[in-house]
Structure 1
Amino acid sequence: MQPQSSTPDQPETSGTRFSNWLKEGREIVPGLIIAVVIAIAARYISEHQGGPVMLYALLIGMAVHSIYEDGTCQAGLSFAAKKVLRLGVVLLGLRVSFSQILALGWQTLALVILSVLAMLLIGLIVARLLGRSASFGLLTGGAVGICGASAALAISSVLPNSKENEQNTLFTVIAVTAFSTLAMIFYPSIGRMFGLDDVQLGIFFGATIHDVAQVIGAGFAVSDGAGEIATVVKLMRVMMLLPVIFIISFWSAKWLHNKGDTSLTTQEANPPVPYFAFGFAALVLVNSLDWIPQTPRLILVDASTWCLVIAISALGVMTTLKTLVSLGHQHLLVILAETIILLAGIILAIKYLL
């Protein structure tokens, strides 16, 4: 009798799984559509009025935060903020190739590696000195040291899930985007003040300015040569996103837990394996071997930007300006201190070591 009862149960199990899959898909659609619409609006404003698309996406998202209170949108917004984000990080690998990195020599490569690792350590130290969590120090240190808003989003995806982490991520994106815009305006004058030539200026911009777009803007505003060098150095920093994700994912959670970091109260100290980082590494290799024609590669690179903008749009909807303001001025001081330290360190290195 028992074998007879188990046979008809099998199709019911398969049907149930399919129904659950359809149900989850329907739950995701409303919130995902909202994030996509906000991303389109932000991209349109950025292309026609100028300004950073990430910041526009955040502001528009926060302006419609009341949508988040409707439970029908929460699943889709969470999907966009996590899954779509990770897809965008994977596609970032198509911006980097080993030949670009090797072209600037081992000294510049060493400078980039050491500066990124130093910013992670400095982020931890400064954050703790100013009474902020160690996880916030890792988040901001990685954002300042690697590639601004994109790095903040990627690092956030492997930090413990909590409301505090969401707020810290949004604050970091806003701050590094604002500082990047200011750097694009003022860093050329600062570089000239220290007597840097076009090659040195390219290294300076690429190693210090947070976001890729602002690096390109500052570099090509000086000269084509400075712009090309700045872009390559910046992509070298983007390449550091892979090891940093692994370092934070496999090491930080237990360390932060042992240090009593309050952001871990909602998650176990054992973090998930960041499988999307393997995808990032694979696409770096594919791009280095020239396996993808230029036109499809550019389409996928643009898709990476879309994914990141959609993710930040979703995060914007999930928070309010009030929660960001309540974080306090110490949050801003952490990122400002990291930016100034990186600026001073890179100038000294260019003048006396390269």
Structure 2
Amino acid sequence: MIEINHLEVHPQREFYSPYRGNGNLSNNVFLRIHGILERLGFSQRGSHGPVVHASSQIGRRDLWPAHGRGLELWLHPAGRGPGLHHPRHPAVRLRAHWQPDRAPPARASEQPLRQGRRPLRRRRLDERRNRPRMTAAALRLNAVRIGPGLLAGLLMAVLAKLLSQSLHAPAPLLAVALGMMLGALGLQGQLGAGLDLFAKPGLRLGVAMMGAQISWTEFAALGGPAVLASGAVVLGGLGIGALAGAALGLPLAEALIAAAACSICGASAALAASQAAPSSPENQRTTALVIVGVNLLSTVAMLAYPPVANALGLTAHQAGVFFGLSIHDVAQVAGAGASVSPEVAGTAALAKLSRILWLGPAVVLIGLMLTRTSEGGRVSGLQAPPLFVWGFAALAAARGLNLIPPSLVSVLAACSSFLLLAGVGAISAKLGPKALLEVKPRLAILLVTLTVAVAILAYALTRIFF
């Protein structure tokens, strides 16, 4: 049954009626439209009812819209054709639209009968006429709507980067703080449209650009064991996160976001996993809290792991691999390695990049784990990986084939970092400080558990392979 939501009278004597649902348009919509118009003072004249356009006297069977684009009805006054009549208005036009993703496909019995080439050409012209046009006024309106939010996201990313360099603090943590400050001002309504661009497509583009940072020639220096060990860390971290999250009573999506952050590459992996998880305010809040938590834990690990590696008797090469496989964020990995020696810092950076190599497969795995039916928890079917995963893989392959010049690699890395910082700030600004300052003890326990488990697993793999 098709339901008409509302009917508005415009100054140009137009009627706009959005509707959605299932059923036969000719049989269900006509009576509802006529009833509403008659209550407004119109009366039906003639026996054929409204027609599609003033120039085409087509029967009711032609009123089913093609491809979910909606339809346009011209209602003629008496003496000018069949339709509806109002004593004061010479002519009216009715436009009806519904959401294309919910519109049912027309059955064969309800589709217009094709009589030659002319009706098909007319339908194509009607579809082309009904498409929304991007006029100069619409462009100006969109610029006014999204401009303030885009400017706010740009400023947060730039400030987070500058403050990180001057204060020697993690940039994602500063982006979260700046977003909380912006959210405290209560400007989410004015900035929401622009911030959404950074929180959704901007984040995905930033994750895809991370693929250009993977250098296969550098991995060859570490050898195949490094790739296998990093894959074992990622897979083990995701498994431990899912099991520990279930034991703590956390939703699977939140547990996997935390597990991705701890087992792959910190804030960037949390953002990538959040794009594979269902979009909800709670998942966004979890993502922001995970970013704060993993940056704090990475800072603690940067200070604690070098003495631990020395106490465990690891060689310089083993210490670098251990730092790269266990510490969450790239900056803290470099800091821990540099505190020992430049050689250890280089080895740690390569081991860390080997974990980033598994970001794409991990996101696909997370998507499969979250693709379940509501009955029984069975996987409902394989879905294609998100588009940003394909972009990540394409850039990684292009870098491996030396199709990306070194100067462009640095530009892509800077753009990726900038978009990720802007996305973190946008998520924090939309949530506001109240949501972010509500501590989730179970999530904190999960992050600490994952940090310890990943460190133990990394140490064991370092001893085995190196």
Flag whether TM exceeds 0.5 (same fold). yes
Which is richer in strand? 2
Change over 3 Å in CA distance of 1:222–1:257 after alignment to 2: farther
Q: Which residue is equivalent to 2:410?
A: 298
Deviations 1:242-269 (A, max 9, x none): 10111122x1232385577xxxxxxx99
Residue 131 (1) aligns with residue 131 (2): no
Residue 289 (1) aligns with residue 401 (2): yes
* TM-score, normalised relative to structure 2: 0.69
Q: Which residue is equivalent to 1:345?
A: 457
- The Cα shift of 1:289 comes to 1.7
Q: Which residue is equivalent to 2:18?
A: none
Q: Which residue is equivalent to 1:321?
A: 433
Q: Which residue is equivalent to 2:371?
A: 254
- Number of equivalences: 346
- The Cα shift of 1:321 comes to 3.4
Change over 3 Å in CA distance of 1:259–1:220 after alignment to 2: farther
How far, CA to CA, are the matches of 1:332 and 1:245 in structure 2? 22
How far, CA to CA, are the matches of 1:156 and 1:88 in structure 2? 13
Contact 1:97 1:285 survives alignment (8 Å): no
SS of aligned partner of 1:181: helix
Amino acid at match of 2:433: L
How far, CA to CA, are the matches of 1:279 and 1:299 in structure 2? 16
Change over 3 Å in CA distance of 1:31–1:272 after alignment to 2: farther
- Structure number with higher relative contact order (C-alpha < 8 Å, ≥ 6 residues apart): 1
127-136 or 141-150, which moves further after superposition? Answer: 127-136
Contact 1:36 1:310 survives alignment (8 Å): yes
How far, CA to CA, are the matches of 1:92 and 1:345 in structure 2? 25
Residue 103 (1) aligns with residue 103 (2): no
9-18 or 122-131, which moves further after superposition? Answer: 9-18
How far, CA to CA, are the matches of 2:188 and 2:234 in structure 1? 40
SS of aligned partner of 2:166: helix
Contact 1:203 1:229 survives alignment (8 Å): yes
Which structure 2 residues correspond to residues 1-354 of structure 1 after superposition, within 5 A?
Answer: 1-2=55-56, 12-14=129-131, 16-18=133-135, 23-67=141-185, 69-249=187-367, 251-255=368-372, 257=374, 273-354=385-466
Give the root-mean-square deviation of aligned CA atoms: 2.5
Structure 1: state its 5+ residue gaps. 261-267
Change over 3 Å in CA distance of 1:254–1:70 after alignment to 2: closer
How far, CA to CA, are the matches of 2:376 and 2:144 in structure 1? 41
Contact 2:226 2:354 survives alignment (8 Å): no
How far, CA to CA, are the matches of 1:193 and 1:205 in structure 2? 14
Change over 3 Å in CA distance of 1:128–1:16 after alignment to 2: same
How far, CA to CA, are the matches of 2:161 and 2:337 in structure 1? 23
- The Cα shift of 1:320 comes to 2.9
How far, CA to CA, are the matches of 2:253 and 2:197 in structure 1? 22
Contact 2:203 2:419 survives alignment (8 Å): yes
Change over 3 Å in CA distance of 1:20–1:6 after alignment to 2: farther
Q: Which has the larger radius of gyration?
A: 2
How far, CA to CA, are the matches of 2:323 and 2:440 in structure 1? 29
Amino acid at match of 2:308: I
- The Cα shift of 1:11 comes to 6.7
Deviations 1:2-25 (A, max 9, x none): 379879856754553556666445
Amino acid at match of 2:395: L
Which is richer in helix? 1
Structure 2: state its 5+ residue gaps. 1-54, 57-118
Change over 3 Å in CA distance of 1:7–1:112 after alignment to 2: closer
